[in-house]
Amino acid sequence: MLLAALAVSAGARAADQELWDRSTLNAILKRGELRVGLEAGYVPFEVRDRQGNIIGFDVDLAKKMASELKVKVSFVNTQWDGIIPALLTDKFDILMSGMTITAERNIQVNFAKPYIVVGQTILLAKRLVGKVRSYQDLDDPQYTVVTKLGTSGETACRRYLSKAHIRTYETEADAAMEVRNGRADAFVYDLPFNSVYVAQYPDSLVHLKEPFTHEPLGWAIRKGDPDFLNWLDNFLDQIRNDGTYDVLYRRWFEGTLWMKNING
């Protein structure tokens, strides 16, 4: 029985070592570089500044992550509709791009625990102030609602605003522009983006800022990597406990200095 127990223990250790050998975390440390996948255009999570650099909340979190790992960091800008396939084919190590955790996505990838919770809100054309007070009022054939293709904004529109005319666009900026230019009545998208966007264009838009969905956002990694997942969860706990997270949150979601350095 003792020999059998020793054999089982040795087998478990071998299996653990094999998992570590195949871990993305191990590969990052050996390579000396953390490769982060994102789509630059989701304000204030990731956006290009006037010099063409990618900046934002996710970017600063990734830089802090790389600092803790003592490696350099690189950012792989990827179109949203191909961002999960790019992760699965090892174009980068981790997806940090304000992605909503859903059961459907969780079949393809694993998520670390949520690092922020947001919801869908509405940017409304000013001419409709007083006439449209909530998402229920927009669920009407007389209204045209726009959002970004393949996002939780599109899902929310089709679920809650099915009677409205729904149009989708490749980027959130293109969709929001339709409302500013009078070609759509409302834009549905995540609260952080909408809060920042309306601050830039208060003359043409009104923000109905009460979220009508509850959406946790998470960092995505490939399946079968418990070591990397464990490290990410512990990293998130660490930065929340030592104040780093709060400093970055205030910079990107409550401060406005960074807005002066992005393309309007």
Token representation of residue 131: 């006439």
User: Do residues 153 and 189 make contact, with C-beta atoms less than 8 angstroms apart?
Assistant: yes
Per-residue pLDDT at 263: 58
Domain boundaries, the chain: 2-116+217-261, 120-208
Q: Are 213 and 122 in contact (CB under 8 A)?
A: no
Query: What CATH number has the domain spanning 120-208?
Result: 3.40.190.10
Written as six digits, the tokens of 96 are 């940090």
φ/ψ of residue 159, rounded to 5 = -85, -45
Domain 2-116+217-261 has CATH 3.30.413.10: no
How far from chain centre, in Å, is Cα 162? Answer: 25
Same fold, 2-116+217-261 and 120-208: yes
CA proximity to 211, closest of 190, 182, 242? 190
CA gap 220, 62 in Å, rounded: 13
Mean of the per-residue pLDDT values of the chain: 92
User: Of 239, 20, 254, 243, nearest to 113 (Cα)?
Assistant: 239
Q: How many CA atoms lie within 13 A of 137 on its CB side?
A: 12
Cβ–Cβ contacts within 10 Å for residue 7, how many? 10
Task: Kindly report the pTM of this predicted structure.
Answer: 0.78
Lowest mean pLDDT among 54-58, 114-118, 193-197: 193-197
pLDDT digits (tens, 9 = 90+) for 7-38: 455 555 666 678 888 899 999 999 999 999 99
**CA 254 and chain centroid, separation:** 18
- Could you read off the pLDDT of 154-200 as tens digits, one per residue? 999 999 999 999 999 999 999 999 999 999 999 999 998 898 889 88
Q: Which residue has the higher pLDDT, 4 or 139?
A: 139
- Token pair for residue 112? 């670390």
* From 48-62, 99-113, 196-210, the region with the lowest mean pLDDT: 196-210
